[in-house]
A and B are shown apart, each in its own frame.
Chain A
Amino acid sequence: MTGRIPIVGRMTTSAIAVSGLRKAYKDKVVLDGIDLDVRAGTVFSLLGPNGAGKTTTVNVLTTLMKADGGTVRVAGHDVATEAKAVRAAIGVTGQFAAVDELLTGHENLQLMADLNRAVSGDGKRIVTELLERFDLVESAQKPASTYSGGMRRKLDLAMTLVGHPKIIFLDEPTTGLDPRSRRTMWSIIRALVADGVTIFLTTQYLDEADQLADRIAVLDQGRLVAQGTPDELKRQIPGTHVRLRFTTAAELDAAARVLTDSTRDNEALTLRVPSDGGTKSLRALLDRLDEYSLSAEECSVHTPDLDDVFLALTGHTTEVNAK
């Protein structure tokens, strides 16, 4: 059979390929040898606390800053030598909504359409579509300075989409948003992925990366300390658990004998019991305590957050700092 040449190559095309990326401000090293590979059509999340180097990474990848070392290819073009081609392929929504406050929502989008070489003539239709898609029709004629935080972010993202970029960089797109706007933003991002766009997302929130990303890289002090799928990463960190605190060491001993899969902390008089945090497993746990006439002073469900990830992945954070 001749017609069946496998097209595996297409499937593994890199949208973003970074190797050995280094960047320092004067003598402060911000990025210390970063290697990344983002496949086309996927969501990649760079997870890290403030000051880890997330924004610097985005700035280098989007041609805003020059790297001190390493190579960066975005959409197949080198950011250092083919910046123009990179810019034509990407869209960027920065950490703070960069909308023109004196212009209306409609004018902001029209401005992007007027500046975009790819749009030519289609501007009006694209602007109208984006206003509808982002639920901004009602406020389209009002100046952006009157918009709420969530609306500004939506307008910002809509402006980024005017030129139909193939690769979109989102630098902390939900920081400072209320939970509802956050969910709206998530569903917008999911819709983009469904359209085949590649997304490079930075975030401080583990659940955001977990919700959206195909792959997550954890950035700490300018180095990647872990990389993998959300499931692979979660296997490396403490899972959801219930924490039981007792008043006396004797009670703690008794409970530890009953709950054999728990880990104890003698100083805090706590037991850490693995659990999915659901009502069923909680009831089972409480029933079991009851059965042995044990009662805990305090019971709390603990889901892992960024702090846990960092503790688990970097171990002794302070020692790493003092290099």
Chain B
Amino acid sequence: MSAQSHSLVMLRRNFKHIARNPTSVFNAVLMPIIIMLMFVYMFGDAFNVGVDYIDYATPGLILLAVCYGLGATATSVNSDMTKGIINRFKVMDVSRGAVLTGHVIASVLTNVVAIAALIGVAFLLGFSPSASLLAWLGVAGMIVLLGFAAGWLTVALGLAAKSPETAGLAAVPLVMLPFFSSAIVPAEKMGPGLRQFAEYQPFTPIIETMRGLLNGVPDTSDAVIAVAWCVGIALVGYLWARSTFKKRA
């Protein structure tokens, strides 16, 4: 039996968890849609961003949707750790890390479902991107890469946390971070300090990359920075997760 088949068994287990724990689906899929409705209908007219607000906000809300799924991942990884499930797998002749890979893939797939639903609702609200098929593929690639990076970081947070509750809390900064980026309003409209933070934090180039692709004006330098951030975050998350997995018994 190979590492892949062990990871598949673990992934199937994660799917069953998601199916039996509807609140996590609510958080991951419905919350981003509710936030989208809120911003577009309540605040949208108040923000002057130069273009139709739904066209401006959708890329940012895509990123928000990735982040909203993370709390559930951190909590479920931690409950596997603290309830001894991970130790059970560790003393079996099971591929090392298959359980973590399962969590990461489940997290990415949840992201994909949530974002597909979000983009569907965006179209209903008048979202009119001018992206080519290739640009759409670029957006999809960016989403998967970001989901993968954020997934590994979240798995590491979940492994390191003391309890499922603290694991859930540890993911909160990741949920808040999009608000301090160009997701909702452009960074140049923010006050000094916050503006610099928003410009240089990893989510802004990721959002700007998707924005460029969706508007038909891709920006290569944003894309390079975005990919570099994702690879960096994925690497840190993966290495941190691996060493915590090895050490904690």
Whether A101 pairs with B91 at a CB distance below 8 angstroms is: no
Instruction: Give residues of chain B (75-124) contacting chain A, Cβ–Cβ below 8 Å.
Output: 83-85, 87-94
Residues in A82-135 with C-beta less than 8 Å from chain B? 84, 87-88, 90, 92, 94, 96-103, 107, 111-112, 114-117, 120
Q: Specify which of B16, B17, B21, B92 is in contact with A115 (CB 8 Å cutoff).
A: B92
C-alpha gap A143/B17 in the complex (Å): 11
- Cβ–Cβ contact A100 & B20, under 8 A: no
CB distance B84 to A96 under 8 Å? yes
In the complex, which residues 33-86 of chain B have their Cβ closer than 8 Å to any Cβ of chain A?
83-85
Q: How many residues does chain B have at the interface if contact means C-beta atoms less than 8 Å apart?
A: 20
Q: Which of B1-35 contact A (CB under 8 A)?
A: 1, 6, 9, 13, 16-17, 20-21
B9 adjacent to A114 (CB under 8 Å):
yes
Which of B16, B20, B21, B88 makes the CB contact (< 8 A) with A98? B88
Contacts of A295 in B (CB 8 A): none
- Residues of chain A lying within 8 A (CB to CB) of residue B91: 62-64, 87, 90, 92
Among residues of B, the one whose C-beta sits closest to the C-beta of A101 is B83
A114 to B92 CA separation, bound complex (whole angstroms): 12
Is A163's beta carbon under 8 Å from chain B? yes
Q: Is A271 an interface residue (CB 8 A)?
A: no
Contacts of B249 in A (CB 8 A): 59, 64-65
Closest to B1 in A: A117
Taking CB atoms, residues of chain A closer than 8 Å to B13 are 100, 103, 111
Contact A115 B87 (CB under 8 A): no
How distant is B110 from chain A, measured CB to nearest CB, in Å? 16
A201 at interface by CB-CB < 8 Å? no
Check: A21 CB closer than 8 A to any chain B CB: no
Given A64-B249, A111-B9, A114-B9, verify A92-B20 contact (CB < 8 Å). no
The main secondary structure of chain B at its interface with chain A is helix
Chain A residue nearest in CB terms to B79: A101
Does A159 count as interface, using CB distance less than 8 angstroms?
A: yes
Mask for A45-78, Cβ within 8 A of B = 1, else 0? 0000000000000010011110000000000000
Contacts of B94 in A (CB 8 A): 115
What CA separation (Å) do A229 and B102 show in the bound complex?
46
Contact A115 B9 (CB under 8 A): yes
| Docked CA distance A92–B89 (Å) | 10
B16 contacts across to A, CB distance below 8 A: 102-103, 107
**Nearest CB in chain B to that of A89: its residue:** B93
Asked if B93 contacts A98 (CB within 8 A), the reply is: no
Nearest chain-A residue to B85 (Cβ)?
Answer: A98
Whether A116 contacts B21 by the Cβ 8 Å rule is no
Name the residue on A nearest B94 (C-beta).
Answer: A115
B93 touching A94 by the CB < 8 A rule? Answer: no
Given contacts A59-B249, A111-B9, A143-B20, contact A100 B85 (CB under 8 A): yes
What's the least CB distance linking B227 to chain A, in Å? Answer: 35
Contacts of B93 in A (CB 8 A): 84, 87-88, 116-117
> Counting chain A CB atoms within 10 Å of each CB, which of B1, B89, B93 scores highest?
B93
Answer whether A98 and B84 are a contact pair too, CB < 8 Å, given A59-B249, A103-B16, A107-B16.
yes
Residues of A contacting B21 in the complex (Cβ-Cβ under 8 angstroms): 102
A171 to B245, CA, bound (A): 21
Measured CA separation A120–B85 after assembly (Å) = 22
Q: A62-B91, A64-B90, A84-B93 are in contact. Are A96 and B83 (CB under 8 A)?
A: yes
Residues of A within 8 A of B87 (CB): 64, 92, 94, 98
In the bound complex, residues from chain B placing their C-beta under 8 Å from that of A90 are 91
State A65–B88 Cα separation when bound (angstroms). 13
Q: Which 6 A-B pairs have the closest CB atoms?
A: A98-B84, A88-B93, A64-B249, A87-B93, A98-B88, A92-B91
Q: List 14 A-B contacts (CB under 8 A).
A: A63-B91, A64-B249, A87-B92, A87-B93, A94-B88, A98-B84, A100-B85, A101-B83, A102-B16, A102-B17, A111-B9, A115-B89, A116-B93, A117-B93
Q: A114-B9, A116-B92 are in contact. List 19 more A-B contacts (CB 8 A).
A: A64-B90, A64-B91, A64-B249, A65-B249, A88-B93, A92-B88, A92-B91, A97-B84, A100-B13, A101-B83, A103-B13, A107-B16, A111-B9, A115-B1, A115-B6, A115-B9, A115-B92, A117-B1, A163-B92
- Please list the residues of chain A having a beta carbon within 8 angstroms of any beta carbon in chain B: 59, 62-65, 84, 87-88, 90, 92, 94, 96-103, 107, 111-112, 114-117, 120, 143, 159, 163
